[in-house]
Amino acid sequence: MLRQSLITLGQYFRLLGLVFQKPTKQRLFMRQIRDEIYYLGVNSTAIVAVISFFVGAAVTAQIKYNIDSPFMPDYALGFATRKAIILEFAPTIIGIILAGKIGSHIASQLGTMRISEQIDAIEAMGINSANYLILPKIIACFIFCPILIMLSIVTALVGGWTIGVNVAGLTTYQYIYGIQFEHNSFDLLYAIIKIVVFSFLISSMSSFYGYNVKGGALEVGRASTKAIVNSSIAIIVFNMVLTQLLIA
Amino acid sequence: MIDIQHVNKSFEDKQVLFDVSIIFEKGVNNLIIGQSGSGKTVLMKCLLGLLTPESGKILFDERNFVGADTKTLHDVRKEVGTVFQNSALFDSMSVLKNVMFPLDMFTEWNYIQKAERAIDCLEQVGLENVEDKMPSDLSGGMRKRVAIARAIANRPKYLFCDEPNSGLDPYTSSLIDDLIAELTYRHKMTTVINTHDMNSVLKTGDRINFVYKGHIAWQGTSAEILSSGSTELVEFLESSELTKRLLHKN
Ligand SMILES: Nc1ncnc2c1ncn2[C@@H]1O[C@H](COP(=O)(O)OP(=O)(O)OP(=O)(O)O)[C@@H](O)[C@H]1O
Ligand SMILES: [Mg+2]
């Protein structure tokens, strides 16, 4: 079991070694990144926005019902919502959603290419297939994940505002004052660092599972599941580690 | 010329190729024939370096390919065009993009030049007005032809075809054979073809290598194949009505 995990880890790093090399054709590489940003990123905006909105609303409602007291200033609700969303909810939840959406997409795409010999065909032409197929995905994730996290934070705060104004009886001014209270730009950086790490875990791990599929369509499905489960676990573990490192 | 010397290949505990030695000459059609499961595809994948033999040498015009560093591997492969058994077209790209792919990767041509070459190659395999179709919209035979067009797009020195006419009707199949043979002679390519189509064997088999359970059981030309004297080969030829009749006429 442990031995097998170490072997898998070794194969993972060896694949990364192949991935991080100079692309064969620079211009083509740029075009690929652009396409991947579209397929992986732009297509994820709707789901990120919807989920963030409702998570933001739920977080605000929880804070309101659980820690509401006459001693709490009006701006506390907005402030607590902001902290919770930027520091934990947005990075982790978006990480997990992307693990599901992007992870399964990448793993099944590469897995299908593997079993239908398309990866062999690329290799047979003298092209480093790992580099050609995987590097654009990783870079695209680096570029759009910080944008997605911003989108997520904004929509979650809007979700919180909906609850704050309609249910908790705040005015818009009080809520906005709350979310601006003791503004700390490190919090945002913190969220971005987290999502960048998560996006690397998602794109590289699901590429690893897809790229190494052996067998048929059934194995592609299995690789896709493995990619989602394992990158979600990795995200949760790294979230804890990063929280310790960055806060301490 | 490709010189294969004493190649052995196994998977886990099952040996697939046994001491295989063949010379594939330049400018002629080199055929590998044999039953399903005899190891033809495995041999071709060894030639491409997609599988690594446990022992033996594969020399591409003096350059040893077995255990070569990544750079040599890629340099040799750039000179190879390959048609895979199940076509292996890129299903996210249109037919035109598929054929242009090797040109995109290895030439500095502009779009017009690449598209012209690609369309020319498609015409050579008898395909017209399919440039904008996706591979999933084509029949199996058409996909095969696109795969051949892609393989020859960058004018390779070596051409490998794994069953180029399986799944094609006899007419198209014969066209493909002629096409590969003609390209081979015209461009002086070293062509290696896996096949169990007896028609192509008799028609285009300049050099024939018969693989039986991973061993090279017979080597010769299409003129000699009917009088080989090899029991395994005769048994194999008898399974085809065409060659069976020819055998018994002799
Ligand atoms: N990746 C692999 N792992 C294990 N065994 C394999 C692998 N690839 C091929 N084999 C085995 O090697 C043997 C030869 O297979 P190969 O694909 O070369 O046959 P073939 O001559 O190309 O047959 P066909 O005419 O059906 O294409 C088969 O018994 C097959 O099971
Ligand atoms: Mg085969």
Tell me the nearest-neighbour CA distance from A127 into chain B, angstroms: 7
Query: What per-residue confidence (pLDDT) applies to A212?
Result: 96
pLDDT at B101 over 80: yes
* Contact between A187 and A87 (Cβ < 8 Å): yes
Q: Is the CB of B143 under 6 A from ligand 1?
A: no
- Cβ contact B104–A121 (<8 Å): no
pLDDT value for B227: 85
Check if the beta carbon of residue B20 is closer than 8 Å to that of residue B195: no
The nearest CA of chain A is from the CA of B134 a distance in Å of 15
- Which H, E and C letters describe B6-41, residue by residue? EEEEEECCEEEEEEEEEEECCCCEEEEECCCCCCHH
B57 contacts: CB under 8 Å, gap ≥ 6:
B3, B4, B5, B6, B7, B64, B66
> Nearest CA of chain B to the CA of A209: how many Å?
19
Tell me the residue type at A248.
Answer: A
- The preferred substitution site among B10, B35, B40 for testing ligand 1, maximizing ligand atoms within 8 Å of CB, is B40
Cα A136 to Cα B90: distance, rounded to the nearest angstrom = 17
B13-39 pLDDT tens trace: 899 999 999 999 999 999 999 998 999
- Owner of token pair 């790209």: B93
Report pTM. 0.89
Minimum CA distance residue for ligand 1 atom 25: B36
Structure tokens at A225: 């599941």
What local confidence, expressed as pLDDT, does residue B233 receive?
87
Site to probe by mutation for ligand 1, drawn from B7, B38, B42 as the one with most ligand atoms within 8 Å of Cβ, is: B42
Q: What is the pLDDT of residue B250?
A: 67
With a cut of 70, which residues of chain A have pLDDT below it?
68, 248
**Among residues 118-157 of chain A, which lie with CB inside 8 Å of chain B?**
118, 120-121, 123-128
Pairwise CA distance, residues A62 & B32, whole Å: 72
Contact yes or no for A124 and B48 at CB 8 A: yes
The CA distance from B19 to B3, in Å, is 13
Specify whether the CB–CB gap between A170 and A76 falls below 8 A. Answer: no
Atom 6 of ligand 1: nearest residue by CA position: B11
Q: Which residues surround ligand 2, an ion (CB under 5 A)?
A: B 41
- Provide the CA A53 distance to its chain's centre, in angstroms: 17
Q: Which residues of A touch B106 (CB under 8 A)?
A: 24, 126
A124 and B80 in contact by Cβ < 8 A?
A: yes
Asked whether B37 lines ligand 1 (CB < 6 A), one says: yes
Query: Is A25–B104 a contact, with Cβ atoms under 8 angstroms apart?
Result: yes
Find out whether the beta carbon of B36 lies less than 6 Å from any atom of ligand 1: yes
Q: Is the CB of B41 under 6 A from ligand 1?
A: yes
Ligand 1 pocket residue status of B17, Cβ below 6 Å: no
Hey, is the C-beta of A187 within 8 angstroms of any chain B C-beta?
no
For B156, nearest residue in chain A (alpha carbons): A125
Nearest CA, atom 29, ligand 1: B37
Domain ranges within chain A, ordered by starting residue: 48-65+72-247
Work out the average pLDDT over B81-106: 93
Across the interface, whether the CB atoms of B86 and A117 are under 8 A apart is answered yes
- pLDDT at residue A184 in the model: 78
Q: Is B214 in the pocket of ligand 1 (CB under 6 A)?
A: no
Q: State the ipTM, two decimals.
A: 0.88
Q: Which of B84, B102, B105 sits opposite A117 (nearest CB)?
A: B84
Closest CA of chain B from A207, distance in Å: 17
Examine the pLDDT at B248 and tell me if it is beyond 90.
no
User: Which ranges of chain A does DSSP label H, i.e. alpha helix?
Assistant: 2-19, 26-36, 45-67, 76-84, 90-115, 118-124, 129-166, 172-180, 185-211, 217-247
* pLDDT tens-place string over residues B115-128: 999 999 999 888 88
Task: Look at residue A1 in the predicted model and tell me its pLDDT.
Answer: 83
Contact criterion met (CB < 8 Å) for B89 and A118: yes
Q: For position B188, what pLDDT does the model report?
A: 92
- Cα(B221)–Cα(B202) distance, integer angstroms: 9
Q: What pLDDT, on a 0 to 100 scale, did the predictor assign at position B169?
A: 84
**Is A118's CB within 8 Å of B91's CB?**
yes
Nearest-Cα residue of chain B relative to residue A123: B50
**Are residues B219 and B4 in contact, defined by beta-carbon separation less than 8 angstroms?**
no
B171 lines ligand 1 (CB under 6 A): no
CB-nearest partner of B105 from A112, A118, A127 = A127
**Cα(B36) to centroid of ligand 1, in Å?**
8
Per-residue pLDDT at B172 exceeds 90: no
CA closest to B74 among chain A residues: A126
